[in-house]
């Protein structure tokens, strides 16, 4: 019998009468085994993971970019609407305070249409704070459009204000006395651009520096004929000495993409209600009526001596 040594690394067995030393094949304990799943990712698994990650990232980026774009469009639209409404309210407030022609020396109301829309009238200025404010008194207010350089079909909304007494004095050749010592010299004229347009012409073509006006229209309601007029001139016979009962203002403003947005309002002129009613023969009722011919002749002489209103300075 073949016996192996205790603690030996081999077992001695008797095979056919001959003792052989047979080495035993021992297996590793279960906790030392390496499972197939922990050996690493295959190339196919990595590619699938990258594709899924890319789809998720593209979806998130698209959502964020759409949200950012929508936010920018909403902010631009809100700014455009806010500034355009402010411009409309400013024009409406000025037009509402127009004085009727019989209220003062050479007071008039004139509005034109067509390719060069404009409106000018006399109103009261109560003054205010700041050195750039026109001094209190009657002022001539005018609105018109100025072409923007490098922008075809786009304009800037211009507002002008002139002290009317200074205009009358200049038209009559009267020199205005200088201010007293220590008194601030208030300007007699002022021109500004609405809708955030700067006064420097070279800066008007910068992106976002000015909201472009693409259209402006005025219409005037005549209570005598009960219809709208495209033009108004209180120095002409058909509208002599009268204000329109209402003025319709239409403003077109373009955004950065060139899309036009229209704003409109109708302004009621309260001082037009106190005007004398015009008779069919062209005479006015409600004024001091004298039946004798001497008064009529005197009125005719006074009408002949009336001077035309002063001309607004050119831009």
pLDDT tens-digit series, residues 80-115: 898 899 999 999 999 999 999 988 889 999 998 777
Lowest mean pLDDT among 45-49, 127-131, 138-142, 237-241: 127-131
Among candidate residues 214, 190, 201, the one with its CA nearest the CA of residue 84: 214
Does residue 183 register a pLDDT over 70? no
Give the pLDDT confidence score for residue 129 in this predicted structure. Answer: 54
Whose tokens are 């005007």? That residue is 275
Q: How many CB atoms lie within 10 A of CB 219?
A: 18
- How far apart are the C-alpha atoms of 214 and 123, rounded to whole Å? 27
Q: Residue 106, SS3?
A: coil
pTM of the full structure: 0.67
Does residue 33 register a pLDDT over 80? no
Q: Which two tokens stand for residue 124?
A: 């009261």
Beta carbons of 209 and 199 less than 8 angstroms apart: no
pLDDT tens-digit series, residues 215-252: 999 999 999 999 999 999 999 999 999 999 999 999 99
DSSP 59-120: HHHHHHHHHHHHHHHHHHHHHHHHHHHHHHHHHHHHHHTBPPGGGSTT--EEEE-TTS-EEE
Among candidate residues 201, 288, 260, 233, the one with its CA nearest the CA of residue 121: 233
pLDDT tens-digit series, residues 77-87: 888 898 899 99
């Amino acid at each position: 019998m073949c016996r192996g040594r205790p603690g030996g690394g081999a077992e001695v067995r008797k095979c056919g009468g001959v003792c052989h030393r047979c080495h035993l094949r021992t297996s590793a304990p279960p906790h030392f085994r390496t499972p197939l799943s922990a050996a690493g990712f295959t190339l196919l698994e990595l590619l699938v993971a990258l594709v899924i990650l890319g789809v998720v990232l593209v979806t998130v980026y698209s959502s964020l970019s759409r949200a950012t774009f929508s936010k920018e469009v909403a902010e631009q639209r809100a700014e455009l609407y806010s500034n355009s409404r402010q411009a409309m309210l400013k024009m409406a407030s000025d037009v509402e305070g127009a004085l009727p022609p019989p209220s003062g020396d050479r007071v008039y109301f004139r509005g034109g249409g067509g390719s060069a829309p404009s409106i000018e009238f006399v109103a009261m200025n109560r003054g205010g704070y700041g050195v750039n404010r026109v001094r209190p008194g009657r002022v001539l207010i005018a609105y018109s459009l100025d072409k923007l350089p490098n922008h075809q079909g786009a304009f800037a909304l211009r507002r002008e204000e002139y002290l009317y007494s200074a205009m009358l004095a200049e038209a009559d050749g009267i020199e205005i006395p200088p201010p007293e010592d220590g008194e601030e010299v208030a300007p007699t004229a002022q021109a500004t651009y609405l809708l955030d347009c700067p006064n420097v012409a070279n800066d008007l073509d910068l992106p976002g520096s000015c909201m472009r006006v693409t259209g402006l229209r005025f219409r005037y309601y005549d209570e005598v004929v009960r219809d709208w007029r495209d033009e108004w001139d209180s120095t002409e016979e058909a509208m002599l000495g009268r204000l329109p009962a209402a003025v319709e203002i239409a403003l077109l403003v373009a955004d950065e993409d060139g899309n036009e947005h229209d704003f409109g309002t109708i302004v009621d002129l309260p001082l037009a209600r106190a005007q004398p009613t015009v008779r069919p023969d062209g005479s006015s009722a409600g004024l001091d009526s004298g039946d004798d011919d001497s008064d009529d002749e005197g009125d005719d002489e006074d009408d002949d001596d009336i001077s035309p209103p002063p001309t607004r300075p050119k831009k």
